[in-house]
Structure 1
Amino acid sequence: MKLSRIAAFSSSLLLGAVLTLTGAGQAQATDTALALDYVALGDSYSSGVGAGSYDSGSGNCKRSSRAFPKLWAAAHSPSSFAFTACSGARTGDVTAGQLGPLSSSTDLVSLTVGGNDAGFSDVMTTCVLQSESSCLSRIATARAYVDSTLPGKLNQVYSAIRAKAPAAQVVVLGYPRFYKLSGNCVGGLSEKERSAINAAADYLNAAIAKRAADHGYDFADVVPPFTGHEICSGSAWLHSVNWLNIGESYHPTAAGQSGGYLPVFTSRA
């Protein structure tokens, strides 16, 4: 009786060891299966302008080690990672200068683009330096561009990505709203201007999301995580006007990259 119990106990130990080793082997196999080739494309919101810690080798593209693509790659160790996003990029810049790393073996692509095409920088310059009526007029011009021209520009870049990386999952990320309305900002833009700028961001995001969906791409909305962290919130993840480094104005801080963009991208990737 004792011998049979010992044999049974020994057998269970052996079986447990086998299952443990098998499970470890399966986990290792899964890790290998999940290895992927990742390419990060786009404008300053992808390159990480505003987050600091820029790679000197990236020059005016200002690619930051705190940008969400770099953070995601550091956390997930893809088998390859190419980071070609560049400050100031428009759709044509992406197609002309950023798609080199894409290939039939590319598994994952991230992209932010469209804001510069729509005149983001000029809108904010006009609103900060000129009258309320000039600000609202410039926003109306930007919205008209989003209606008339931007969809075709987005189609071109989305189609170019698919042509070079036919099997890739493409995650297109949007832009945050800039302002918390009725927030704690004193002076500066009027509440009407802030509201119009936020509405323009929503309008741009809707156009980008529609084109992304039509191409079978995932759209990642960053408005929810940035809610409560807009300019005038008291806990902003966005720079307001930065007169010492004007190019960082209205861009995510390091916290905006890690707390806003990274979780949304991770949930889609």
Structure 2
Amino acid sequence: MIPSKLLRGSIVAAATTVLAALVSSLGVTPAQAVAPQYVALGDSYSAGVGTRDKQDDCYRSPYGYPALIADTYGLALSYQACSGAVTADVAANQLQALSSGTAHVSMTIGGNDAHFADVITECAQPGWLSDCEGAIADGNAVIANQLPGRYDSLFTAIATAAPNATVAIGGYPWIFNGEDCNLATFFSPSEQSALNAGSDNLDELIAAKAAGHGFAFVDPRSSFDGHAVCDDPEWINGLSNPIEESYHPNRDGNVGYAALFGPALTGSPFDPTSLSRTAAAKPRETRDAKLRREADVVLSFDLDTPANLRAARRHGIAPAEIKRLVRALDSDDPAAVERALTELRRLDRQTS
């Protein structure tokens, strides 16, 4: 009779041999085969929008902070985050990746629930056309009245689906620094301040709800201070080409996010020097091409429609002046285009 201890040893040895053969056939190392599972949930801020390397319909850039964290800490990434996602989308389409074996979960969510893109679009228009104040108020109403319950429901579902995971929920940085250096947008200093205050409202809610569910809260505001749109260096894109990249963290910004999320998830410092990926340069375009692109953005506002001309008149701006500037925006003369953009900026400040 074979001693039981020897029999168990033989079984273990055989199992180890089989596992090694399986791992070898799959072309992975044993360390990779047992890498802790990391699930990245969320919206465009977690999908890496802004890094100029879109991979699929959800974006999911290899330069997004989840990919940087997975590479740095040797985690097995399940990249679920998707551009445009709201809390309901995470619940319906992303939580299936979670299990009792999930070790780490990160997420940014809520900006789209509060209509972030619509608010930015509204506030980017000239003051005599937009209702920036109303758009911000509507977003803040969602934050105050609807998102608390949505967060409670979603966070409970995450805790249930991944009971053994360390979960870190990220907030959103301040986007603006009080300056608007893009000729095609019309953010006044007061509008920028109000937009940043909206981010504060959302972040304070996320922090409270994360704490209430035993999750870590990742606050990017201090780290991103000095790196807003129009800062040097920017960690957040301003108006960009393609437009999808606008007002999202660039590659440097995603490194900044990774430096916050990594320790929150693993308890270990994040070492950016270990990354082989470098910051993406902004697309090269001539000054004339940039002016043409900016003029086309402003032309898309349809400043000279009857309704918009009436709005201009109500704010003391002569419709004939708007028509003249619109014609100049269509000019082939870059100097004329630049003068028209600058004059429209002056009129916007006059009515703000």
Are 1:144 and 2:144 counterparts? no
Hey, what's the Cα distance between the residues in 2 that align with 1:84 and 1:112?
A: 12
Hey, what's the Cα distance between the residues in 2 that align with 1:218 and 1:255?
A: 23
CA contact (8 A) 2:182 2:238 kept: no
Are 1:117 and 2:113 counterparts? yes
Does the C-alpha gap of structure 1 residues 205 and 155 become closer, same or farther in structure 2, counting only changes over 3 Å? same
Are 1:185 and 2:190 counterparts? no
Hey, what's the Cα distance between the residues in 2 that align with 1:205 and 1:251?
A: 16
Hey, what's the Cα distance between the residues in 2 that align with 1:71 and 1:40?
A: 11
1:49 corresponds to which residue?
49
Aligned residue identity for 2:225: T
Does the C-alpha gap of structure 1 residues 144 and 35 become closer, same or farther in structure 2, counting only changes over 3 Å? same
After the TM superposition, which residues 10-21 of structure 1 pair with which residues of structure 2 at under 5 Å, given as runs? none
1:14 corresponds to which residue?
none
Q: Which deviations, in whole Å up to 9, do the C-alpha atoms of 1:80-122 show, x marking residues without a partner?
A: 3211100000000001001111101111100000000011011
Aligned residue identity for 2:73: H
Hey, what's the Cα distance between the residues in 2 that align with 1:179 and 1:197?
A: 8
CA contact (8 A) 2:49 2:60 kept: yes
Q: Percent identical across equivalent pairs? A: 42
After the TM superposition, which residues 47-196 of structure 1 pair with which residues of structure 2 at under 5 Å, given as runs? 47-55=47-55, 59-78=56-75, 80-131=76-127, 134-181=131-178, 183=179, 185=181, 188-196=186-194
Hey, what's the Cα distance between the residues in 2 that align with 1:154 and 1:226?
A: 24
Does the C-alpha gap of structure 1 residues 229 and 127 become closer, same or farther in structure 2, counting only changes over 3 Å? same
* Superposed displacement of residue 185, structure 1: 2.9
CA contact (8 A) 2:119 2:132 kept: yes
2:234 corresponds to which residue?
236
1:246 corresponds to which residue?
243
Structure 1: state its 5+ residue gaps: 1-30
Hey, what's the Cα distance between the residues in 2 that align with 1:122 and 1:185?
A: 21
Are 1:255 and 2:252 counterparts? yes
TM-score normalised per structure 1: 0.82
1:4 corresponds to which residue?
none
Hey, what's the Cα distance between the residues in 1 that align with 2:180 and 2:59?
A: 31
Between the two proteins, the alignment pairs up a number of residues equal to 231
Does the C-alpha gap of structure 1 residues 184 and 250 become closer, same or farther in structure 2, counting only changes over 3 Å? closer
Hey, what's the Cα distance between the residues in 1 that align with 2:125 and 2:195?
A: 15
Aligned residue identity for 2:43: D
Hey, what's the Cα distance between the residues in 2 that align with 1:158 and 1:268?
A: 17
* Superposed displacement of residue 35, structure 1: 4.7
Hey, what's the Cα distance between the residues in 1 that align with 2:48 and 2:59?
A: 7
* Superposed displacement of residue 54, structure 1: 2.4
CA contact (8 A) 1:184 1:233 kept: no
2:264 paired residue among 261, 264, 268: 268
Structure 2: state its 5+ residue gaps: 1-30, 266-352
User: Which of structures 1 and 2 has the larger relative contact order (alpha carbons within 8 angstroms, sep 6+)?
Assistant: 1
Aligned residue identity for 2:78: A
2:317 corresponds to which residue?
none
SS in 2 for 1:219: strand
